[in-house]
Structure 1
């Protein structure tokens, strides 16, 4: 029990540190120290420059397929977990009114990168780069699914917009694909050191800037907790409690998922992570009521300060690493 409590407190401290950065950035936006018009610039800079550099440098610099022969199972796992979440939300929200269309993706599409990476960085120290590699292979499938499924649920039914690959193949995905190509073909041996070193240098800013961008995005929202408390409880139930329980069940049944302590941490964090903030951006673009998605997302980020340490501690107790 003392070990479980110790693990809980370790993760709790990491989540609280992230929460303080998020709160600080959010307050800067709400106080108009940072104008709301500048939030998109911050977010776009992270997405188009810093995060792709982190992904590229990590995969090209560290990924050895011969040492991790089941690397393809990570994007496959992301796909299967997403499908499972979709199925659960269909049953859970079956009796809800029209608003269920917007709430379903919030209940199973998690913040797979911006929230998971800093927790890993604060917990793991020297092992963070290997953990980050696992995260990038996971989001290789997760991010395209996030945009495809999110848009499917959040746009108005009467909208007839032409499909654009640019909305799915974001810069982080391009960085993933290019880096994997260089590794698979052996072309990375011919990559000048200055290119990899520059990408590594820029990538080091991705995690703190990503958390700051997350807080700034949340700071732009109009929040009405009382109005959306009831539907929010269902989303909280699935996203922060049912999904991590499903992932733990899968880990108990599939030995590979618990074969490495870093994989254990990866999967439990992916299952327990709060909703992706990109759903807020999609809601603002396609929905009549982005306030609902934004408010419930904020509720999840508040509750996860307690729920994530609980699930990580439970995973460590169920699947001890030593």
Structure 2
């Protein structure tokens, strides 16, 4: 006996996906959502583009294995580098060199600040470091809690990636009769995956634009003016990597670039910060324009969705807003409601 007819199955699938999307942010599963769907989207896109040359089932299996090996390799490499940094770089001469570099950096920052704020204290890098360590000691509980959250998010991200790979592999199974509810639910998930893929791949374009603008500023404009930003190559790479994270990525790179500029002069730091703020504000419109084009929506629609979600959920809502709106619009179009 069939419990749900086709119409009820469709309604039930919409309710289920709505509940999932509604609890995603309150349960702090955004990182897991992104990592799992990202792996699934990459495998799906690669296997789809290679189906002309390889059978679809074997293509998914091949790319799943390759991506699994890449993820495992990156994790092992990261852990190995961390162990190497702790055991070797933070011992002996490397520790002395690191302390010297930190002292020089603090002295440069302090010297520039004192030019504009003569009453700035402390006047020695030693007391500045003492205050920093005292702050860390006072907030040790908060830092420990933050570290625990980071480890939990990392573990959740790995599990979500594994799920994404397993879901991709599940499509290798031969087709058979599927109940109406399962068909409807799979359709919802496929639409969500399509919306996610459109938005995330558009974010890659946005990150490239941000990186190009930073290259123009740091590699062309500043050298012409006689300034050479420290760690400029590293900052360029970080600008692209963090730029893949909507909004928050820009905040991270803005902070790093401003601190680097502060080692040269306060005025350069202010100019850099002003430039980055302008770029950051432009990203709202660039983001809305690129993503809107990808999902056939006007820029103002995406901007409105971002503003509403930011007001409700904060920064996390701002990040997921384009995906949610893209999915909503895709579903409405398929039902001929818009």
TM-score by length of 2: 0.30
Q: TM-score, normalised by structure 1?
A: 0.31
Structure with greater contact order relative to length (CA < 8 Å, sep ≥ 6): 1
Larger Rg, first or second structure (1 or 2): 2
